[in-house]
Amino acid sequence: MGVSFKTNFGVCTMRIIFLDWNCFDKEETKEAFKNLGHEVYPFIHDDYNADVSEDFDRSFKELAEKKNIDMVFSYNFYPVVALACRDLKLPYVSFLYDSPYAYIYSYTLAFPTNHVFLFDSSLTEYFRKGGLENVHYMVLPGVPDKIDRMLKKDFDRKRMSSDVSFVGALYNEAHNFYDRIDFKNAPYLDGYLRGVMDAQKKVAGYNFVEELLTPEILSSLQETFPVDRGERSIETEGFRYADYFINRKISSEERIEFITALGSRFGSEYTVKLFTLDKSFSVPGVKNMGVAEYDTEMPYVFNQSRINLNISLRSIKTGIPLRCMDIMGFGGFLLTNYQADLFHDFIPGEDFDFYESKDDMLDKVEYYLSHEKERAEIAANGQQKVREYFTIEAVLTRIMDIVFERN
């Protein structure tokens, strides 16, 4: 029997539009809403990520009025949806899992019909201090039932299994904006940013990159690589340079550094695997397996790796990345860099473990490779906590409670 929610017009089943794009866990989320007793109407349109679209607006409103919709839900926030929901006076619930995410700085964020959930508590606090009380913190969900089903099927155990694995982009592809900056005529800018990056690498738990982008440095960046914030954006002048250029570059260097160190120290004795977009990347002692498809392969990789490494994007200031929730939810052992929000709901050494530096990471990998019982117990504890408190249904229930308590 599904669970209904108390609203200002009584206890009811909600009729929900689900923005259906190529997001993670979309089928599981639609199913979770149905299990909670709600009716779900998927809406697909090519212009979902446009700033403005008359065709999207017309099609969306037709569906909302035809089905007498009560609420709209999407992963990530989309201004074109916010505009339509404002006109219809419909609650628009968005749950972000991407970081950085430029649309969060849209002027449409302030619409009272929005209910925005962020997985990073520091970013949530930033917006709330700015007067946006419709922005809330929420831990991303895991999907432990998914791996339960998948393990009943045959899979390529040889490809998915390893002693140590890392799944994620290296950000060394063409999308790396930092490497497009022409420093030939800006040697001071080059040296300054290099110093900022080297300093940030030494600090876990606090990101100061944007704070160090002085007006003079931002002016120099605009001269060498102009960025148009857009007239509809309320983002700070340094946001895109900090998160899309510099923090991404730091993350790229850290991931390559750490993976190289893993291969050097453990590659001759253990199986170290990298699952990433760049099939050409190669370092001694590491097997580059290419991409692990999110729905069909990644759950197996996390479950079948003795140690799953997380190296967070530096733009995620305090939040628990989706990768961490997936690792624990799929029954994997999580070894991650320090992320403050993890400590609110999970216990280090019991549900997961963390490292404070590259050397600390290497030492803890060595420790857990030789303490199999402790490693397995921690992995089991992490999955059990996700199963009890952070399934999609549990998280959606908390979200709906917040939304309709506000209404």
Domain of residue 379, CATH code: 3.40.50.2000
Note the pLDDT of residue 174: 61
Q: Cβ(255)–Cβ(278) under 8 Å?
A: no
254 shares its domain with 385: yes
Find the CATH number of the domain harbouring 91: 3.40.50.2300
Note the pLDDT of residue 70: 96
104 shares its domain with 157: no
Note the pLDDT of residue 406: 53
In a domain, 206, yes or no: no
Note the pLDDT of residue 11: 43
> 290 to each of 214, 224, 278, how far by Cα in Å?
39, 34, 7
398 shares its domain with 278: no
294 shares its domain with 157: yes
82 shares its domain with 99: yes
**Cα(93)–Cα(263) distance, rounded to whole angstroms?**
43
113 shares its domain with 30: yes
402 shares its domain with 307: no
Note the pLDDT of residue 7: 46
Assess whether the previous peptide bond of 284 is cis (omega < 30° from 0). no
In a domain, 347, yes or no: yes
Q: What percent of the chain has pLDDT over 90?
A: 90
In a domain, 214, yes or no: no
Note the pLDDT of residue 344: 96
In a domain, 201, yes or no: no
**Cα(205)–Cα(9) distance, rounded to whole angstroms?**
43
Contacts of 4 (CB under 8 A, 6+ apart): 11, 12, 13, 14, 36, 37, 38
44 shares its domain with 154: no
Q: In what order do the strands lie in the sheet with 39-43?
A: 39-43, 15-19, 71-75, 92-95, 114-118, 135-137
What total of structural domains would you count in the chain? 2
Joined tokens for residue 217: 């440095």
127 shares its domain with 169: no
Which residue numbers in the chain have pLDDT < 50?
1-11
- Burial of 228 by CB count in 10 Å (0-12 exposed, 13-18 middle, 19+ buried)? exposed
Angle at which helix 322-329 crosses helix 372-389, to 10 degrees, equals 110
Q: What is the pTM of this model?
A: 0.94
Q: Cβ(82)–Cβ(115) under 8 Å?
A: no
In a domain, 217, yes or no: no
Domain that includes residue 40, residue range = 5-141+391-406
- pLDDT by residue (tens digit) across 171-187? 986 668 999 999 999 99
125 shares its domain with 154: no
In a domain, 239, yes or no: no
Contacts of 165 (CB under 8 A, 6+ apart): 272, 273, 274, 275, 301, 305, 307, 308, 309
291 shares its domain with 361: yes
Q: In what order do the strands lie in the sheet with 287-288?
A: 287-288, 272-275, 162-167, 305-310, 334-337, 353-355
40 shares its domain with 15: yes
